[in-house]
């Protein structure tokens, strides 16, 4: 039997759609550079499969979160420009240098640590500086920046090639915080020597030309999430998740379904049990709220999501479509990641990064072989 | 630099505690057999590291969810008795036989499929029968059971060695559903030839002797979750999750923290940014609700959880404890999995299965070498 026939669930990742999304962003913001944020395993979709195709399409700069991710990506992209957002912590500068990783330096302590390391004669790569403009999460505070600006020797040792910041409310184009952060970024970056600047990720790109500077750092938009919530999604959908029906059962009132007997059957009908559960990243918060789609029919998720199983009310679907072995779309042409996220009470980013390891994965591309896991 | 020094987060799994929990259950229910539910990679904790130690401690029977998991576990435990809860779907009987996996047959269709396969002369393993007693998720319906009981030839071909069911409300000892399911299980299993019976998982074991039959199937209790919510947890804690502080920043009113500016600073204080986010399974629903512990001090999670980062208010912690590189307990001696789950609006099972791949993992045992990932 084939791998697909054996699978309990199938996750199909359209790598060409990722590339199309990157090209759309790159064209939109040119002449600014479009980098690619590939942290968290490309938001759960497979950095080993996606990053090389983005690179082949012309993407030059890549952002990851941690040193581990940087080392992994260096193996995948021997020639790529790789930024590591967390920077070195508790030592680690030598690891950055050994793998040619550009640290994003988030504090005066990281900057002076890097300067000391660079001055010690190692062939340290260049670095990026991260200014906090209102997230209060990572990045140089204004007082630290003033102290840094007074130390041209430190700056010279660090050799910064990019100064960046990050928007807190870019998904809400009515938030006054966006213009505040833009003004702060201009003011603070003006205290540094001239160098390329970057402020925006996916959302910021669509806030307008002023937010694009010399480089933007799209992530979510590449993977098909809507960067402009409330308006039609300009990005191509990347993900399809299909769960296999294990069993179809006849139910009738007054039966209950699942843990906690949380769903009460009110009419004669059919329940399909699908081999996907919260251990697959199909959130438990979807219980009695989510839905799937089969043959164009929307099927409500009833009862609680359990670890390995989810139950759907398929009463209104023509019987020939519903049988053990048939596939229900959990994410697909008729149900987007953003919709699933709304039903789960979260955002599409978390739906993607939670996608589990038990799904049989296939990556679709015209430019490379699709490789099932 | 060591692997641990490089880590953004550390996940420590006390395998000896898993074994102690299994022994406690085994002693409690003897002479009934204590199996071990090791599906979903031992609830996210590492089946390759845990199953062999349970086997060495005397556990004979293991339950997984899918064929893939069964094949994986067969490689780990060449001699173990392995049940696969989902049974064969759309073919697959030959895979079960090839790997010596015992299918849990959940429907008349699966039973007749298995009987046909077994009769064809293959050396089919024995099978288990799953009766639905009120979950309406998987399992033989009563009408199907009657048809099966009338077919002794089919039953003889299947060679069932276990009949099982599953409780919907075992975590609530006041639910009338427990006694209903117990009565239904007795009545339905009585229509089959005499064979070993199993009704309870972790919760059911603690509902009393009547629920234990010949075998119980603990999972959650082995991994330290409380099988009797609302009463003191009789199980040993298994998991510790520590996140590394990347940066400590001074904040003051009227600053905001994180995405959506959802946390407003009301007094002069300190925020620690930790390198764990929802891509690590640290749920976004913990935003402005969760907490961590450092040096015995409880530190509130402030702002939203982002993909790779979480921010804590560490104002009240002595300064020497709070520095880049220091570790905050996200799960640990002073903060249980069940507590994290309550703050995230879910159950401990989902917290465990969501634990991410970026955590550096170590398994502690006295009987085998601890192996960092």
B55 alpha carbon, distance to own chain's centre = 18
* Any domain includes B122: yes
Long-range contacts: B73-81, Cβ < 8 Å, 24+? Answer: B73/B38, B73/B47, B74/B99, B74/B100, B74/B101, B76/B47, B76/B48, B76/B51, B76/B52, B77/B51, B77/B52, B79/B55, B80/B51, B80/B55
What is the nearest CA distance from A17 to chain B, expressed in angstroms? Answer: 22
**Best of A249, A260, A269, A287 to disrupt the B interface by mutation (most B CBs within 10 Å)?**
A249
B271 interfaces chain A, CB cutoff of 8 Å: yes
In the three-class reduction of DSSP (H, G, I as helix; E, B as strand; rest coil), residue A240 is classed as strand
Domain holding A271: CATH number? 2.40.37.10
Cβ of B328: how many Cβ atoms within 10 Å?
Answer: 29
Annotated active-site residue B39? The verdict is: yes
Query: Measured between CB atoms, which of A39, A68, A256 is closest to B136?
Result: A256
> Beta strand pairing status for A327-331 and A360-364?
unpaired
Are the beta carbons of A138 and B247 separated by less than 8 Å?
Answer: yes
Q: How many CB atoms lie within 10 A of CB B316?
A: 11
pLDDT of residue B372: 42
Contact present, B64 and B82 (Cβ < 8 Å): yes
- What is the sign, positive or negative, of the torsion defined by CA atoms of B5, B6, B8, B11? negative
> So which residues of A are the catalytic ones?
39, 259
Q: Which of B145, B202, B246, B311 is best to mutate for the A interface (most A CBs within 10 A)? A: B246
Distance (Å) from the C-alpha of residue B323 to the closest C-alpha of chain A? 10
Chain A CA closest to residue B39:
A308
- Do B290 and B155 share a structural domain? no
User: What average pLDDT does the structure give for chain B?
Assistant: 94
**pTM for the model:** 0.95
Nearest residue in A to B325, CA atom: A90
A288: CB partners within 8 A, 6+ apart: A262, A263, A301, A302, A303, A304
Chain A residues whose beta carbon lies within 8 Å of the beta carbon of residue B285: 285, 345-346
| CATH number of the domain where residue A195 is located | 3.20.20.10
Q: Give dist(CA B88, CA A197) in Å, integer.
A: 56
How many other C-beta atoms are found inside a 10 Å radius of the C-beta of residue B327? 18
Residues A198, A80 within the same domain: yes
Looking at the domain assignment, is residue A230 inside a domain?
A: no
Q: Which of residues 189-228 of A touch B (CB under 8 A)?
A: none
- Stretches in chain B below the pLDDT threshold 70: 1-3, 122, 367-373
Its sign, for the CA torsion B55, B59, B65, B70, is positive
| Strands lying side by side in the sheet with A36-37 | A33-34, A215-216, A197-198, A160-164, A127-130, A102-105, A81-84, A61-64, A36-37
**Least confident piece of the model among A38-52, A160-174, A214-228, B108-122:** B108-122
- Give me the residue from B68, B85, B137 closest to A257, CB to CB: B137
Closest CB from A1, A132, A307 relative to B95: A1
B 282-341: CB under 8 A from A: 283-285, 303, 306-309, 311, 324-325
Whether B302 and B203 map to the same domain: the answer is no
A200 token code pair: 């925006």
Instruction: Indicate which residue of B177, B259, B270, B298 is catalytic.
Output: B259
A70 and A131 belong to one structural domain: yes
Which residues, numbered 113 to 152 in chain A, qualify as contacts with chain B under a Cβ-Cβ cut-off of 8 Å?
Answer: 132, 134-138, 141
Q: What is the pLDDT of residue B366?
A: 81
If asked whether residues A102 and A198 sit together in one domain, one would say yes
Q: Which residues in chain A have Cβ-Cβ distances shorter than 8 Å to B350?
A: 278, 283-284, 307
Which residues of B are less than 8 Å from A251 in CB distance? 136
Exposure string of B147-165, with b = 16+ CB inside 10 Å and e = fewer, is ebeeeeebbebbebebbbb
Structure tokens at A221: 């938009």
Greatest Cα pair distance in chain A: 78
Is residue B62 domain-shared with residue B129, that is, in the same domain?
Answer: yes
Q: How many CB atoms lie within 10 A of CB B74?
A: 18
- Å between A343 CA and nearest CA of chain B: 13
Q: Widest CA span of chain B, in angstroms?
A: 78
| Same domain assignment for residues A94 and A163 | yes
* pLDDT tens-digit map of B29-83: 999 999 999 999 999 999 999 999 999 999 999 999 999 999 999 999 999 999 9
Q: Give the per-residue pLDDT at B260.
A: 87
User: Does residue A370 register a pLDDT over 60?
Assistant: no
Nearest to B138 among A261, A273, A285 (CB): A273
Closest C-alpha to B304, from B256, B259, B342, B340: B259
Q: B40 to chain A: which residues are within 8 Å by CB? A: 279, 307-308, 358
Separation CA A148–CA B158 (nearest Å): 76
Rounded mean pLDDT of A89-112?
93
Note whether A135 contacts B259, CB cutoff 8 Å.
yes
B60 and B154, same domain (yes or no) = yes
Smallest Cβ–Cβ distance between A249 and the set B6, B69, B141 belongs to B141
- Of A246, A258, A345, which has the smallest distance from its Cβ to B89's Cβ? A246
Q: Do the Cβ atoms of A324 and B1 come within 8 Å?
A: no
For the segment A132-183, what is each residue's pLDDT rounded down to a tens digit? 999 989 999 999 999 998 999 999 999 999 999 999 999 999 999 999 999 9
Exposure class string for A280-298: b at 16+ Cβ within 10 A, else e: bbbbbbbbeebbbbbeeee
What percentage of chain A exceeds 90 in pLDDT? 89
Mutation target to probe the A interface, by most A beta carbons within 10 A, among B166, B168, B242, B256 is: B168
Q: Is B1 on the interface with A (CB under 8 A)?
A: yes
**Residues of B in Cβ contact (< 8 Å) with A109:** 324
Residue of A nearest to B265 (CA): A136
Test the B interface: residue of A5, A63, A89 with most B CBs within 10 Å: A89
Q: Which pair of tokens denotes residue B143?
A: 């009408």
Interface check B44 vs A, CB under 8 A: yes
Helix, coil or strand: residue B309: coil
pLDDT of residue B276: 98
A65 with B308: Cβ contact below 8 A: yes
E strand or H helix that includes residue B351: helix B348-354
The pLDDT > 70 percentage for chain A reads 97
Residue of A nearest to B86 (CA): A246
Structural domain contains residue A168: yes
For chain A, how many structural domains are there in total? Answer: 2
From chain A, the residues in CB contact with B358 under 8 A are 40, 66, 68-69
Which residue in this structure is represented by tokens 């399809």? A240
Tell me whether residues B353 and A279 touch, CB distance under 8 A: yes
Q: Is the peptide bond before A20 cis (omega within 30 degrees of 0)?
A: no
Residue B330 lies in a domain: yes
Q: How far, in Å, are A198, B14, B337 from residue B20 at the CA level?
A: 53, 10, 18
Phi/psi-derived region of residue A75, left when phi > 0, alpha when psi is between -120 and 50, beta in every other case: alpha
Residue of B39, B43, B83, B223 marked catalytic:
B39
Which of A84, A344, A350 to mutate: most B Cβ within 10 Å? A350
Residue A26 lies in a domain: no
In a domain, B323, yes or no: yes
Query: With bands split at pLDDT 50, 70 and 90, how would you rate the model's confidence at A89?
Result: confident
Overall average pLDDT of the A77-90 stretch: 94
* Cα–Cα distance, B176 to B155 (Å, whole number): 32
CB-based contact B136 A255, cutoff 8 Å: yes
One domain, residues B186 and B253:
no
- The answer as to whether B145 is a domain residue is yes
Q: Which domain covers residue B150, as residue numbers?
A: 15-223
- Chain A closest-CA separation from residue B308 CA (Å): 7
Lowest mean pLDDT among A47-56, A256-265, A284-293, A297-306: A256-265
Same domain, A92 and A64: yes
Chain B, window 68-97: residues with a beta carbon less than 8 angstroms from a chain A beta carbon: 68-69, 85-87, 89-92, 94-95
In the predicted model, what is the mean pLDDT of residues A255-261? 88
Select from B223, B257, B287 the last residue of a domain. B223
Chain-chain contact of A95 with B1 (C-beta, under 8 angstroms): yes
- Answer yes or no: is A140 within a domain: yes
- B226-254, pLDDT tens digit by residue? 999 999 999 999 999 999 999 999 999 88
B214 and B243 in a single domain? The answer is: no
Single out the residue of A72, A138, A151 nearest to residue A104, CA to CA: A138
Q: Do A215 and A287 fall into the same domain?
A: no
């Amino acid at each position: 039997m084939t791998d697909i026939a054996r699978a309990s669930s199938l996750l199909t990742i359209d790598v060409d759609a990722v590339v199309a999304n990157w090209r759309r962003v790159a064209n939109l913001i040119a002449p600014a550079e479009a980098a690619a944020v590939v942290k968290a395993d490309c938001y759960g979709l497979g950095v080993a499969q996606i990053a090389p195709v983005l690179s082949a399409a012309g993407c030059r700069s890549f952002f990851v979160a941690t040193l581990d991710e940087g080392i992994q990506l260096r193996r995948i992209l021997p020639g790529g420009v790789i930024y590591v957002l967390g920077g070195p912590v508790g030592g680690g500068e030598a690891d950055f240098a050994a793998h040619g990783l550009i640290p994003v330096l988030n504090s005066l302590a990281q900057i002076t640590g890097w300067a000391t390391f660079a001055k010690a004669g190692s062939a340290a790569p260049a670095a990026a500086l991260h200014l906090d403009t209102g997230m209060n999460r990572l990045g140089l505070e204004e007082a630290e920046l003033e102290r840094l600006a007074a130390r041209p020797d430190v700056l010279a040792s660090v050799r910064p090639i990019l100064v960046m910041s990050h928007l807190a409310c870019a998904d809400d184009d009515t938030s006054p915080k966006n213009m505040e952060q833009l003004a702060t970024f201009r003011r603070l970056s003006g205290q540094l020597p001239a160098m390329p600047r970057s402020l925006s990720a996916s959302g910021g790109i669509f806030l307008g030309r002023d937010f694009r500077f010399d480089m933007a750092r799209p992530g979510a938009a590449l993977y098909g999430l809507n960067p402009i919530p409330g308006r039609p999604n300009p990005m191509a959908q990347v993900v399809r998740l299909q769960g296999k029906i294990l069993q179809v059962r006849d139910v009738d009132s007054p039966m209950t379904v699942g843990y906690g007997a949380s769903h009460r059957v009110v009419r004669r009908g059919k329940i399909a049990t699908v081999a996907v559960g919260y251990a697959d990243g199909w959130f438990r918060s979807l219980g009695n709220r989510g839905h799937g789609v089969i043959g164009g029919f929307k099927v409500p998720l009833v009862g609680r999501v359990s670890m390995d199983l989810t139950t759907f009310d398929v009463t209104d679907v023509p019987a020939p479509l519903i049988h053990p072995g048939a596939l229900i779309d959990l994410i697909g042409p008729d149900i987007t990641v953003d919709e699933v996220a709304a039903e789960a009470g979260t955002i599409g980013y978390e739906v993607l990064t939670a996608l589990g390891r038990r799904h049989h994965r296939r990556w679709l591309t015209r430019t490379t072989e699709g490789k099932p896991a």
